[in-house]
Amino acid sequence: MGRAVVLGASIAGMLAARVLADHAEEVLLIDPDGDPTGPEPRPGVPQGGQVHALLPAG
């Protein structure tokens, strides 16, 4: 396999990219949110802020 494309860099997307790396010469990961700059929730994940809100309260 020459090139594999994975859409979305979630945990599932990263796992898929890792598995494809054993079979493809190149793996391209495309994510609309870009790289995170800190511990803030990602814009494309509506439930992303829930864990961050619960941690200080715990």
What are 36-58's pLDDT values in tens digits?
Answer: 677 777 777 776 666 666 666 66
Name which residue leads in pLDDT, 32 or 49: 32
The pLDDT score that the predictor gives to residue 11 is 85
Mean pLDDT of 20-42: 84
**Residue ranges of E strands in 1-58:** 3-7, 26-30
- Mean residue pLDDT of the chain comes to 81
Q: Looking at the DSSP assignment, which residues form a beta bridge with residue 29?
A: 6
Name which residue leads in pLDDT, 55 or 8: 8
The pLDDT score that the predictor gives to residue 48 is 67
The pLDDT score that the predictor gives to residue 7 is 93
